[in-house]
């Protein structure tokens, strides 16, 4: 199974360690094509790539993937774009967010939940393992 993981990069890197731990768990179910999203050095590593290269590479990976898993707590324009494209392709999507007083999930994501192909779920990290099992198996 190919998994496309989405997480904020330009939108802010405060959750990077959470992304890395989620990616590690996801790798037990298949290949995560966007492992770089969890890397401490992603901004530095991608700095010499053009926006077009990153966009076209990521859209290609998205099209190749079987499922999309997004950590949506930290608002990110790129993650929103990836989710919109994935939804338009009819992909199976799981969005996870950690409720907090200073973060409001966009209604365009919360309202996309349909209980089948587009799942939006509040979670704590301890629950992630079981959520992945339910979603991916
Ligand atoms: O350097 C990058 N590499 C990359 O793969 N992305 C993709 C993957 C992430 O899921 C998403 C993050 O978007 P943003 O940078 O707007 O937060 O976009 C985004 C950037 C920077 O915009």
Domain ranges of the chain: 2-136
Does this model's pTM top 0.90? My answer is: yes
Tokens linked to 38: 């969890």
Q: What is the pLDDT at residue 99?
A: 93
Q: Which residues line ligand 1 (CB under 6 A)?
A: 6-11, 34, 37, 46, 54, 58, 76-79, 82
Tokens linked to 121: 């779920």
Using alpha carbons, list the distances in angstroms from residue 41 to 16, 25, 83, 106, 119: 10, 20, 24, 28, 30
Question: Dihedral of the CA atoms 135, 119, 96, 100 (nearest 10)?
Answer: -140
- Testing ligand 1's pocket by substitution, the residue of 3, 10, 57, 77 carrying the most ligand atoms inside 8 A of its CB is 10
Sign, CA dihedral 11-23-56-104, equals negative
Query: Is residue 137 classed as helix, strand or coil in its secondary structure?
Result: coil
- In whole angstroms, give the CA distance from residue 133 to residue 107: 26
- In whole angstroms, give the CA distance from residue 137 to residue 133: 6
pLDDT tens for the 137 residues of the chain, in order: 999 999 999 999 999 999 999 999 999 999 999 999 999 999 999 999 999 999 999 999 999 999 999 999 999 999 999 999 999 999 999 999 999 999 999 999 999 999 999 999 999 999 999 999 999 99
Q: Find out whether 19 is annotated in a ligand binding site.
A: yes
Tokens linked to 84: 């919109």
CATH number, domain 2-136 = 3.40.50.450
DSSP labels for 65-82?
-SEEEEE-SS--HHHHHH
Contact 67, 134 (CB under 8 A): no
């Amino acid at each position: 199974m190919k998994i496309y993981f989405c997480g904020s990069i330009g939108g802010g890197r405060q959750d990077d360690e959470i992304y890395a731990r989620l990616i590690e768990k996801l790798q037990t179910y298949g290949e995560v094509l966007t492992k770089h999203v969890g890397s401490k050095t992603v901004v530095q590593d991608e700095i010499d790539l053009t926006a077009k290269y990153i966009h076209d590479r990521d859209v290609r990976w998205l099209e190749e993937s079987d499922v999309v898993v997004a950590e949506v707590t930290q608002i990110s324009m790129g993650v929103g774009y990836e989710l919109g494209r994935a939804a338009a392709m009819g992909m199976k999507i799981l969005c996870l967010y950690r409720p907090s007083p200073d973060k409001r999930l966009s209604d365009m994501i919360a309202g996309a939940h349909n209980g089948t192909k587009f799942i939006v779920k509040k979670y704590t990290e301890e629950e992630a393992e079981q959520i992945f099992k339910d979603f991916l198996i």
